[in-house]
Amino acid sequence: MPTPPSTTAARAAAERLAGLAVPAGALGRLGELAVWVSSVQGEVPPRPLEGVRLVIFAGDHGVAGHGVSAYPPAITAAMVRTFVAGRAGVNALARAHGVGVRVLDVAVDADLSDLPAEVGAHKVRRGSGAIHLEDALHPVETTRALEIGRRAAHEEVAAGAQLLLSGDMGIGNTTPAAALVAAGLGLDAEEVVGRGTGVDAEGLRRKTAVLAAALARAGRRADDPVETLTALGSADLAATVGYLLAAAEAGVPVLLDGLMAVACALSAERIAPGTGAWCVAGHRSPEPAQSLALAHLGLEPLLDLGLRLGEGSGAVAAVPLLRSAVALLRDVAQLDDLLPDEG
């Protein structure tokens, strides 16, 4: 279990915030955010956030062959190549905001061995199982995927990361991610299903049926969070869970993205209660399952832009807000220091 963020630092940060040369409460959520950064860093004022790193976990999903996405599975491998080339949506945002990007092929159903070796060095399998028909993974693969994600986080922390973001790439992945949320919160398919890349009414019906069949197939196995990953998740989602678990254990804060990141944070919280305290929510996705999971974790997203891209984009877009919060609590004078001494 992760140790909680420092309450001593949070108290001292709240005191510093209350004394700033601004009207009480005028910094709104930026003030709260600055206090949170202090508490996860254990430092007042908080340190400027250097080493902000995004790891994108890529993989294919058997359900993508069953009409649950508006796009074909071949997009997954093409987008992995695009991340490596620096030309995806999240690359543009990451360059604008000084965020380092790394992509890992955990379970893409394609041969990407021509890409730099580190991309596919820990590939678990080619595609995860179609969860309405079969388990996503063999239990040994779940363990391996969790370990790959943990290792990625440890490597980033060892290289100096002070804030970690996770990204996703995989056509069809909003289906297993919604299944993780349904399993974690005891909800039905209809309550968690969303349009993902933009399926039409017929697609939404198919996706709901796939989700309902998957949840029925998993049955009581959904009561156990690791079994849930095996039955209803995927290798790339399990790796993301491992990444979030390791970040919290290392005491490194996490900025969450959309549905996949938040479904994995919910899974991580089920495995190791307290993980969510190390997370802040970057944005609200239109996917209902993301809002349901955020509410359960007690997280209120910073941005609400109608963004439904994934890749870590909503987290990267929120990085300037975290940096703004830190700058305010570090650099603004104390009101008492501006006033002439009395007496």
Ligand X SMILES: Cc1cc2ncn([C@H]3O[C@H](COP(=O)(O)O)[C@@H](O)[C@H]3O)c2cc1C
Ligand Y SMILES: O=C(O)c1cccnc1
Residue from 40, 75, 101, 326 touching ligand X (CB under 6 A): that is 75
Catalytic annotation on 190?
no
Return the number of the residue (9 or 152) whose C-beta is nearest ligand X.
152
Interface with ligand X includes 174 (CB under 6 A)? yes
Residues 146 and 226: their CA atoms lie apart, in Å, by 9
Number of Cα atoms under 13 Å in the Cβ half of residue 335: 10
- Cβ atoms of 267 and 239 closer than 8 Å: no
Return residues touching ligand Y (CB under 6 A): 174, 196-197, 257-260, 285, 287, 290, 308-310
**Nearest distance in Å: CB 337, ligand Y:** 44
Residue 312 CB, nearest distance to ligand X (Å)? 9
- List the interface residues with ligand X, window 189-248 (CB under 6 A): 196-197
What are the backbone angles phi and psi of residue 76, rounded to the nearest 5°? -60, -55
Q: Report CA-CA distances (Å) from 45 to 36, 251, 280, 312.
A: 11, 17, 19, 28
Which residue's CB is nearer to ligand Y, number 30 or number 232? 232
- In the bound state with ligand X, the residue whose beta carbon lies nearer, of 75 and 318, is 75
Examine residue 287 and tell whether it contacts ligand X (CB under 6 A): no
Minimum CB–partner distance for residue 319 and ligand Y (Å): 16
310 touching ligand X, by CB under 6 A: yes
Q: Determine the Cα–Cα distance for residues 323 and 330; give it in Å rounded to an integer.
A: 11
259 binds, among ligand Y, ligand X, none (CB under 5 to 8 A by kind): ligand Y
Does 309 help bind ligand X (rule: CB under 6 A)?
yes
- Sheet of strand 52-59: strand arrangement: 100-107, 52-59, 163-169, 254-256, 279-281
Assign 3-state DSSP to the chain and report helix, strand, coil percentages, each to 5: 55, 10, 35
Give Cβ neighbours of residue 307 (< 8 Å, ≥ 6 apart). Answer: 258, 283, 285, 313, 314, 317
Residues annotated catalytic, as ranges:
311
Residues of this chain that interact with ligand X (CB under 6 A) are 69-71, 75, 79, 168-175, 196-197, 309-311
